[in-house]
């Protein structure tokens, strides 16, 4: 065991004071940060009243909206006429078309009608005097012959009785609303209805094999147009999904992002040389341009879009202008800071030969900054593809406006899902392309 005397200990303390004479911040800094974070979290809980917010939130709507993203429903209505007959009606724009004959609806010999809501475990049988709802292993009759519907026997938990109707919740499969003179059924299906051909198409409700056969070698459906051209027109002009309009708006969004970023980079590039202190030794001009960049950046792209839609009206021009103004400020700042951090030795070496200013910039500065500038510009372009979607919602054109219109109806959530998936695909593609180009320019390997 080695014994250290007082002189040796004093020598060690003198040589390594940071270990033996730590400041208050070094000793208690971590604890103070932890306490400050805890206090701030408690303040945020109080300020936003999170317990009340979570208690009053409509969490059930999350499941409803998500189910509507991946499914659709058909709503047949059964009206009981005075003579005892049952008239079946569908909504005007039913996914089944104008003359539906679904196989899940069966006419029984006793004039009743049975609807299979989800296989045999959930079904509804409608007759002139009663409606029988089968679900969760039980069958519950509801009499409809008197002044108000009446449940025969105990009322199960999944059934609610009101003054003039009875509502049966069948879970994801759908629901049933029963009144004296009508029964309305909501039957849910997984998938997107009529995504390829709408109900007005000549190819609607035909098997895939028959459609392919008609397109490849079948007789012309319209004498003046080939079946291939007709199929493309029907898909592009699908009235329910509006593929043509959606893809056109998506292309507008991409063009908005590209044009705004391109114009912003072309404007910011020369201004950055004037704003960089080591390139342009004019402090007043440097400060004016840097504050100009700060002003353009401080006003959010969404606010610029609101201003420009007032000036030019709704459309992609306002969106491109908003991106252009924001990117001029953002790229101007990035470019000027990049110029101020270059190595001045190549520049000074070329300047010492008596070369003109243009040549000094071309050979002393550009080789250092071009890869960095292009990399920053590509990143901003990739980011602006996402930003262009957001500003479209305020009238700046593109798929953002289309997405906002679908969300406002609160009924076309499958269309919302379709556009969100398209946006995600575009973002992923541009992200991958941007990363590949940046790594290629910077001479690094992509991971």
List pLDDT tens digits, range 122-158: 999 999 888 999 998 899 999 987 778 888 888 899 9
- Indicate whether 373 and 264 sit together in one domain: yes
- Indicate whether 385 and 302 sit together in one domain: yes
Residue 46 domain-assigned (yes or no) = yes
Which tokens is 308 given? 């420009």
The predicted-structure confidence for 230-248, as pLDDT tens digits, reads as follows: 999 999 999 889 999 999 9
The more confidently predicted of residues 350 and 2 is: 350
Which tokens is 338 given? 């990049």
Q: What's the pLDDT at 289?
A: 92
Neighbouring CB atoms inside 10 A of 255's CB total 16
- Indicate whether 109 and 53 sit together in one domain: no
Mean pLDDT score, 289-311: 90
- Indicate whether 25 and 140 sit together in one domain: no
Which tokens is 444 given? 């690094």
End-to-end Cα, the chain, rounded Å: 52
Q: What's the pLDDT at 18?
A: 62
Provide the 8-state DSSP code for 112: -
Q: What CA–CA distance (Å, rounded) separates 192 from 136?
A: 27
Residue 63 domain-assigned (yes or no) = no
- Give the pLDDT band (50/70/90) at residue 444: low
Spatial contact of 187 and 115, defined as CB atoms under 8 Å apart: yes
Q: What's the pLDDT at 1?
A: 54
CA dihedral 169, 171, 174, 180 (to 10 degrees): -10
Which tokens is 247 given? 């893809």
- Indicate whether 87 and 50 sit together in one domain: no
**How do 122-126 and 113-118 pair as beta strands?**
antiparallel
Q: What's the pLDDT at 352?
A: 76
- Give the pLDDT band (50/70/90) at residue 5: low
- Indicate whether 49 and 108 sit together in one domain: no
Computed over every residue of the chain, the mean pLDDT equals 85
pLDDT at 63 over 80: no
Kindly report the backbone phi and psi dihedral angles of residue 370, in degrees, each rounded to the nearest multiple of 5, phi listed first: -60, -50
Q: What CA–CA distance (Å, rounded) separates 397 from 415?
A: 18
Q: What's the pLDDT at 323?
A: 93
Q: What's the pLDDT at 265?
A: 93
Neighbouring CB atoms inside 10 A of 248's CB total 15
The more confidently predicted of residues 84 and 37 is: 37
Q: What's the pLDDT at 443?
A: 64
- Give the pLDDT band (50/70/90) at residue 68: confident
Our measurement of the distance from residue 188's CA atom to the centroid of its chain's CA atoms, rounded to an integer in Å, reads 24
Which tokens is 168 given? 């049966």
Q: What CA–CA distance (Å, rounded) separates 232 from 196?
A: 10
Q: What's the pLDDT at 266?
A: 94
Residue 228 domain-assigned (yes or no) = no
Q: What CA–CA distance (Å, rounded) separates 177 from 200?
A: 30
- Give the pLDDT band (50/70/90) at residue 447: low
Question: Residues 102-134, buried b or exposed e (16+ Cβ, 10 A)?
Answer: eeebeeeeeebbbbbbbeeebbbbbbbebbbbb
- Indicate whether 120 and 178 sit together in one domain: yes
pLDDT at 298 over 70: yes
Q: What percent of the chain has pLDDT over 70?
A: 93
Contacts within 8 Å (CB) and 24+ apart, 149-158: 149/178, 149/179, 149/180
- Indicate whether 170 and 272 sit together in one domain: no
pLDDT at 362 over 80: no
Q: What's the pLDDT at 12?
A: 67
DSSP characters for 254-307?
HHHHHHHHHHHHHHHHHHHHHH-TTTS--HHHHHHHHHHHHHHHHS-HHHHHHH
Spatial contact of 215 and 228, defined as CB atoms under 8 Å apart: yes
Residue 221 domain-assigned (yes or no) = no
Mean pLDDT score, 106-128: 88
Q: In what order do the strands lie in the sheet with 130-135?
A: 105-107, 113-118, 122-126, 130-135, 138-143, 150-151
Mean pLDDT score, 274-279: 87
Q: What CA–CA distance (Å, rounded) separates 335 from 279?
A: 12
* Short-list 183, 173, 116, CA closest to 149: 183
Q: What CA–CA distance (Å, rounded) separates 61 from 263?
A: 43
Spatial contact of 244 and 232, defined as CB atoms under 8 Å apart: no
- Indicate whether 99 and 183 sit together in one domain: yes
Q: What is the CATH number of the domain that holds 354?
A: 1.10.3720.10
Residue 2 domain-assigned (yes or no) = no
- Indicate whether 34 and 148 sit together in one domain: no
- Indicate whether 255 and 315 sit together in one domain: yes
Domain count, the chain: 3
Q: What's the pLDDT at 247?
A: 93
Spatial contact of 84 and 128, defined as CB atoms under 8 Å apart: yes
**How do 86-89 and 174-178 pair as beta strands?**
unpaired
Q: What's the pLDDT at 16?
A: 66
Q: What's the pLDDT at 159?
A: 92
- Indicate whether 267 and 379 sit together in one domain: yes
Structural domain boundaries, residue 381: 243-442
Residue 220 contacts by C-beta under 8 Å, 6 or more apart in sequence?
Answer: 226, 227
The predicted-structure confidence for 396-423, as pLDDT tens digits, reads as follows: 778 888 888 888 877 788 898 999 999 8
């Amino acid at each position: 065991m080695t014994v250290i005397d007082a002189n040796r200990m004093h020598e060690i303390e003198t040589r390594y004071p940071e270990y033996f004479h730590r400041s208050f911040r070094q000793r208690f800094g971590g604890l103070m940060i932890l306490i400050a974070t805890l206090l701030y979290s408690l303040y945020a809980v109080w300020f936003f009243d999170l317990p009340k917010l979570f208690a009053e939130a409509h969490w059930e709507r999350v499941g409803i909206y998500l189910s509507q993203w991946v499914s659709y429903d058909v709503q047949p209505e059964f009206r009981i006429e005075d003579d005892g007959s049952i008239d079946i009606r569908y909504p005007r724009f039913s996914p089944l078309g104008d003359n539906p004959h679904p196989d899940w609806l069966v006419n029984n010999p006793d004039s009743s009608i049975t609807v299979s809501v989800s296989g045999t475990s959930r079904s509804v049988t409608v007759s002139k005097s009663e409606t029988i709802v089968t679900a969760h292993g039980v069958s519950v009759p509801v009499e409809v012959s008197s002044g108000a519907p009446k449940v025969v026997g105990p009322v199960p938990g999944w059934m609610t009785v009101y003054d003039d109707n009875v509502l049966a919740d069948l879970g994801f499969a759908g629901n049933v609303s029963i009144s004296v003179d009508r029964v309305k059924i909501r039957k849910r299906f997984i998938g997107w209805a009529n995504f390829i051909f709408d109900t007005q198409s000549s190819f609607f409700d035909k098997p895939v094999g028959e459609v392919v056969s008609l397109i490849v070698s079948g007789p012309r459906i319209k004498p003046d147009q080939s079946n291939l051209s007709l199929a493309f027109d029907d898909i592009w002009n699908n009235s329910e999904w509006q593929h043509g309009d959606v893809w056109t708006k998506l292309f507008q969004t991409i063009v908005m992002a590209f044009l705004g970023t391109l114009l912003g980079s072309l404007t910011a590039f020369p201004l950055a040389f004037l704003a960089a202190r080591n390139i342009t030794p004019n402090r007043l001009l440097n400060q004016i341009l840097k504050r100009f960049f700060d002003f353009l950046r401080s006003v959010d792209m969404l606010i610029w879009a609101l201003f420009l839609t007032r000036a030019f009206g709704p459309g992609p021009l306002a969106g491109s202008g908003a991106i252009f103004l924001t990117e001029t400020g953002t790229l101007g700042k990035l470019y000027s800071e990049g110029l101020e951090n270059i190595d001045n030795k190549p520049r000074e070496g070329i300047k010492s030969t008596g070369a003109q200013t243009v040549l000094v910039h071309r050979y002393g500065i550009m080789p250092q900054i071009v890869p960095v500038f292009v990399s920053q510009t590509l990143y901003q372009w990739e980011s602006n593809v996402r930003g262009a979607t957001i500003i479209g919602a305020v009238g700046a054109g593109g798929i953002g406006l289309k997405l906002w219109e679908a969300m406002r109806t609160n009924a076309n959530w499958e269309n919302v899902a379709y556009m969100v998936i398209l946006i995600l695909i575009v973002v992923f593609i541009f992200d991958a392309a941007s990363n590949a180009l940046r790594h290629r320019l910077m001479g690094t390997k992509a991971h």
